[in-house]
Amino acid sequence: MVIMGIQKPAWLEALYTQKFFVGCCYHETAKKNEKNVYCLDCCVSICPHCIPSHRFHRLLQVRRYVYHDVVRLEDLQKLIDCSNVQAYTINSAKVVFIKKRPQNRQFKGAVNYCTSCDRSLQEPFIHCSLGCKVDFLLKHYKDLSPFLRKCKTLTLSPDFLIPQETGEEEMANETAQSTVVDSDEPMSWSSSGSESMSMSMAYSSDQIVRKKRSGLYLWRSSANRVSDEEIASSMSRRKGIPHRSPLC
């Protein structure tokens, strides 16, 4: 975009125009698919599921504060000079608004006002957002290059959680469910079908042992075997006859 003959950096223009906290069209069926990350190299907003495809790019996390998009001041200062922009604190981190926030009426007793949208500010700030400062610089200095900073690497904060792939979760769940036997019928084995059953279930050295009078099954592996005596004692165990206390 060109303003008064001056061109904004591509990443800065896209950061101002991209939509965040909307569903990702590439991961419509996935959970947590809101776009809350901005890729500076591709100039697009992405969701957490898209991060593996942009893992070598510069990434900027976008947060939400009072229904507006904000970024951490620490991250933004690596890209552009953020002096005189009022910051706010959320979750013990200072953030800066990306877009303008025009205010209909001014509060009485306010000392400073935004140079672009006349929003009431605290001292000594004169800009309420990144967009307001950029407009102010272009209007008065005609050039943004003295305020831009070179940033070759920009990574997400360590507390940013990347969800696991849905396919991997389903495979893990299926694997876990395949080791659980929840049938109440006793298992029968025949000489003709034992080989086919062992091949289909792929239990070479592992066996499933069922406790009598209960619906539980024990997984007995070669690494941690249960002795036949223990199994026999657990299966032949009976509840004792209940004794009532004498009447007084």
Residue 157, domain member (yes or no): no
Q: Confirm whether 56 is domain-assigned.
A: yes
Assess whether pLDDT exceeds 90 at residue 57.
yes
Average pLDDT, stretch 147-163?
89
Instruction: In whole angstroms, give the CA distance from residue 118 to residue 132.
Output: 10
Does 69 map to a domain?
Answer: yes
Q: How many structural domains does the chain have?
A: 1
pTM above 0.75, yes or no: no
pLDDT tops 90 at residue 154 = yes
Judge whether 60 lies within some domain: yes
Position 1, amino acid: M
Residue 228 is predicted with a pLDDT of 57
Alpha carbon distance 51, 162 (integer Å): 8
Digit-coded pLDDT (tens) for 13-38? 999 999 999 999 999 999 999 999 99
Indicate whether 213 belongs to any domain. Answer: no
Token reading at 28: 């419509």
pLDDT in tens, 63-97: 999 899 999 999 999 999 999 999 999 988 999 99
Q: Residue 243 to residues 37, 237, 239, 240, 248: CA-CA distances in angstroms?
A: 68, 18, 12, 9, 15
43: containing domain? 10-150
Which letter does DSSP use for residue 127 in this model? Answer: B
Res 169 pLDDT > 60: no
* Averaged pLDDT score across all residues of the chain: 75
Contact 112, 125 (CB under 8 A): yes
User: Is residue 113 domain-resident?
Assistant: yes
Model confidence pLDDT, tens digit, residues 102-129 = 876 666 666 788 988 888 888 899 999 9
Contacts of 161 (CB under 8 A, 6+ apart): 48
Residue 227 zone, left/alpha/beta (φ > 0; ψ -120 to 50; rest): beta
Residue 142 lies in a domain: yes
Output the pLDDT for position 236.
54
